Structure 1
């Protein structure tokens, strides 16, 4: 009997079968503390490595047949039938091999929730690379940077999955900052500001900022070169620029 959600292709499932990569993800999780939430365990290759860590582990799987098999294989494991994209990420550590087609919406939802501290995710390579700021920051990364840090832990070749996807994967870790660069109460205003700067007209951050009403000198006070591009700014520079404009 087939799942009501469809087969592997329909669910966007590409299972990681490369043992060294599975161990790398497990080792990253081992550096964290507290209960773990695993998203999309599939056949349980990573789950089997997380269980020996001896921590409270919950898994959310969309395929009800795999839910049943995981429960049979690991009696006592908290396996729940559900969609990881709509789950509540309410444990300190979130880990998972994320279906590539839902990577961006899942990240947006994850970054909007407050009850987790560390996320170790296997995502599409281009998404992992961009979120980690390799080659320059994106709007989403810059919007989140005052409250989260992003780190890339390596590329995972497509042939290390089954079925083999059309693109490589990447291991991305996200950590909630212990000391945020900006108050959380300013997040919505700051996110609008970042979006406006990234989509604003002009060549160079100084012209872009002044075109949207910022006074001359704000960029200089933030310690940013006038001709820098939005993608070139560090999290600290974004926060400094926001504060400099707020002081006008």
Structure 2
């Protein structure tokens, strides 16, 4: 392993500071970063996609774990620091300047890959919906290990009937298994955010047969878009949805948060 200078020293030398506009918060604790890199399991020789590496704290942990990392960074200020890391790990790190929301991740990575990222708060949910929303399943990614605000993490793993249960929970759970792997105190970051954070680890599982991902997306978006209304109101704009409820014996006077993930899958299957 190359002898790297402390990350705080690198940040100071390049005059870097976390950008609020980009949703950045830096982590400097090397032990914590190594713990995050260990969550997906053995990464030796594994292709890993990292979004928003900043000055490269988590990137260091992933490289120490033996991963071959592709890092997408849109903040040009961080590129020189990441370039130094590229030089320290020749052939093991590829830095791409760009917007992760617009790039084709599968094309960039080639074969199967894991995603490990301390996601910028302002794009985290949008990226998660993109990774979970495709019709092609199983996906090219083998696991997602992602940092979110703790409130968002709780929404991903929420159970029916809870205040946190909603569209994100259904999207994450109908063909994948999410869990909160690690909680991270706000004091671990520089600057400290106003909220607590958590690492969510998601592994894909078999896709239920006969279900179209876009149909399920339309149903959940309509149902939870008006979550305080009864299903007969919230789903009336989805063609065939009320007939599907009748066919499945689901009371149209129920509200979306009372339906299980399996209920939503059944409705989507009825709609074809």
Residues in 2 aligned to 1:216 and 1:237: alpha-carbon distance in whole angstroms: 9
Give the structure 2 partner of residue 154 of structure 1: 182
TM-score by length of 2: 0.71
1:79 aligns with 2:94: yes
Give the structure 2 partner of residue 109 of structure 1: 130
Residues in 2 aligned to 1:99 and 1:240: alpha-carbon distance in whole angstroms: 34
How many equivalent residue pairs?
A: 236
Q: 2:242 is matched with which residue: 205, 213, 217?
A: 213
Cα distance, 1:206–1:14 mapped onto 2, change above 3 Å? same
In structure 1, the gaps of 5 or more residues are 1-5
CA deviation string 1:134-168 (max 9, x = no partner) = 63422233245333332222321111111212222
1:31 is displaced (CA, Å) by: 5.2
Residues in 2 aligned to 1:32 and 1:205: alpha-carbon distance in whole angstroms: 45
Cα distance, 1:239–1:74 mapped onto 2, change above 3 Å? same
Q: 1:180 is matched with which residue: 204, 207, 231?
A: 207
Q: RMSD in angstroms over aligned alpha carbons?
A: 3.2
Cα distance, 1:94–1:183 mapped onto 2, change above 3 Å? farther
1:198 is displaced (CA, Å) by: 2.4
Q: Decide whether the 8 Å contact of 2:50 with 2:117 is kept in 1.
A: yes
Look up the SS of the partner of 1:172 in the other structure.
strand
TM-score by length of 1: 0.77
CA deviation string 1:64-103 (max 9, x = no partner) = 2232222233333322132333333324200110111111
Residues in 1 aligned to 2:227 and 2:37: alpha-carbon distance in whole angstroms: 44
Q: 2:198 is matched with which residue: 170, 173, 177?
A: 170
Runs of 4+ in 1 over 4 A off after TM superposition: 200-212, 224-228
Equivalent runs, 1:1-248 vs 2, <5 Å = 8-9=18-19, 10-30=21-41, 34-62=46-74, 63-82=78-97, 83-90=99-106, 91-112=112-133, 114-133=139-158, 135=162, 136-177=164-205, 179-183=206-210, 186-199=212-225, 213-214=242-243, 217-220=246-249, 229-243=255-269, 245-246=270-271
